[in-house]
Amino acid sequence: MTQLQPTSRRVSRPDRLPLAGLVALGTAGFVTIMTEALPAGILPAMSGDLGVTQAAAGQTVTVYAIGSALAAVPLTAATIGWPRRRLLVIAIAGFAVANTITAISHDYILTMASRFLAGVVAGLLWALLAGYARRMVTPQQRGKAMAIAMAGTPVALSIGVPAGTFLSDVIGWRYTFGIMTLLALILIGWVLASVPNFPGQAKAARLPLRRTLAIPGMAAVLVVTLAFVLAHNILYTYIAPYLAPLGLADRVDIVLLVFGAVSLLSIWITGALIDRHLRPLIIASCALFASAALALGLFAEAPWLLFASVGVWGLAFGGAATLLQTASAEAAGAAGDVAQSLVVTCWNIGIAGGAITGGLLLAGIGPSSLPWAALVLLVPALIVTIAAHAGATNTSSPPEK
C-alpha cells in the first residue's frame, strides 16, 4: 500500500515545508497548553470569583488532565476513520466552547465540567497533531515538521502563560479566557485555509490497541514519557515552594523565564537535528534532566548554580514532546494516531500524578525532596532509553501506509 495522499489540492512542493499549515498546527498546540495551564497563574482571582479555595480552583488543572487521559485512547480509536481536518476543526471548536463556558460561568461545578470538556478535546487534538504534521511533508522533513507543530508547548509555557497572567491582571481572567475563544475561532479559519485534508484510516488497515502496544519499542517510549513528565511536573508545579526556603520567593518569575527561554532554544536545536539524531537526542534529554535534578538537589543554595541547573532542565524539556512523539510515530508506522493517543494518555497521567506526588512530598518531607524524587524517576528513564529497541528511537522505520 502507498502512503495516503491528501484529498485537498493545496499540497506544498515536496522540497518546501508547508509553514502556514505547520504553524497552524503549532498554534493549536499553543491553545491547548494555554487552556490547560492558564488557571495556575490566576488562581487567586479565579477562586475568589467562584467562591472556592485556591486549592479547589487548582483542581481545574487536574480535571483537565484527567479528561485528556481518559479520552485520548477511546476517542482516537472511535474517530480513526474520520477525515483528519474535520476532526481537527471539531477539536479546536471544542476549545472555543469550553473556554466560553469557563469565561462566563459563576458556578464551580459548571466550570469544572467545562474544564473536563477542554481536557477531552485536548486528548483528541494531541493525538492528531504528530501524525498530521508527518503526513504534510516528505519522510526526510518529518522531524522538522513535528518540531514546528510541537513548538506551541514551550511557547505557551514560556511566553503565553506569563502574558495571559499579566493580561488577566489588567482586564480580568474571564476576558482572558474569552480571548482564548476568539483565538480558537480564528484558528478554525486558518486551518481550513492552510491545512490539507487527509482521509481517515481504512478499517482493514487499523491495528487493535493491544497490537499497537506490542509494537517493538512502543512500551519503552510510553515508560519514558510517563517517567519524564512525572518528574517534570513534580518540580515545575511546585517550583515556588521549592524556591521559597532558598530565599528566591521573589525570583520565581525570573527562574521560569530562564526555563522558558532555554526551552525555546531546545525546540530550535531539536528541529535542526531530529531527522538525523533522534536516538542521541532522547538519551541526551533524559541525561540532561537527570543532571539538572541532581544539581538542584546538591547545589541549590548557590543561586548561579540553581539558575544554570534550571537552564539545563529547560534544554532537556523543550524538545521532549517532539522527541517522544516522533519516537512513537517512527515505531508505530501506520498505527501512528493510536500510538500518539497512548503517549498523550501517559503525558497527562504524568501531569496529574506529578501534582499529586509533589504535593504529598511537599507536605510530608519538604520542598528539598522534589529534585531527588525527580532524579529517582529519571535514572530508570535514562536506562530504558539507552536499552530500548532501536525501532522506537531511530528514523529508519518503514513508511506509513
Closest of 119, 116, 64, 125 to residue 91, by C-alpha: 125
Could you tell me what percent of the chain has a pLDDT over 70?
A: 88
How far apart are alpha carbons 173 and 351 in whole angstroms? 23
pLDDT (average), residues 207-229: 79
How far apart are alpha carbons 262 and 276 in whole angstroms? 22
Tens-place pLDDT, residues 34-82: 998 888 778 778 888 999 887 788 788 888 988 988 888 888 888 888 8
How far apart are alpha carbons 380 and 20 in whole angstroms? 39
Tens-place pLDDT, residues 155-170: 887 788 878 888 888 8
Residue the block writes with cell 497548553: 33
Instruction: Please provide the average confidence, as pLDDT, over all residues in the chain.
Output: 83
How far apart are alpha carbons 106 and 1 in whole angstroms? 53
Cα atoms in the Cβ-side hemisphere of radius 13 Å centred on 390: 6
Return the axis-axis angle of helices 161-171 and 173-194, rounded to nearest 10°: 130
Q: What's 197's DSSP letter?
A: P
Residue the block writes with cell 497490537: 211
Name the CATH architecture for the domain at 207-396. Up-down Bundle (1.20)
pLDDT (average), residues 272-283: 86
How far apart are alpha carbons 335 and 397 in whole angstroms? 12
How far apart are alpha carbons 123 and 66 in whole angstroms? 10
17-206 and 207-396 have identical folds: yes
Q: Where are the domains of the chain?
A: 17-206, 207-396
How far apart are alpha carbons 207 and 327 in whole angstroms? 18
* Dihedral Cα 372, 374, 376, 380, nearest 10 deg: -150
In one-letter notation, the amino acid at residue 125 is L
Closest of 155, 121, 163, 131 to residue 319, by C-alpha: 155
Maximum pairwise Cα distance, the chain: 62
How far apart are alpha carbons 313 and 302 in whole angstroms? 16
Cα atoms in the Cβ-side hemisphere of radius 13 Å centred on 190: 18
Give the residue with greater pLDDT, 307 vs 152: 307
Tens-place pLDDT, residues 93-121: 999 999 999 999 999 999 999 999 999 99
Do the Cβ atoms of 36 and 69 come closer than 8 Å?
no
Q: Which fold has domain 17-206?
A: Growth Hormone; Chain: A; (1.20.1250)
Q: Structure pTM?
A: 0.77
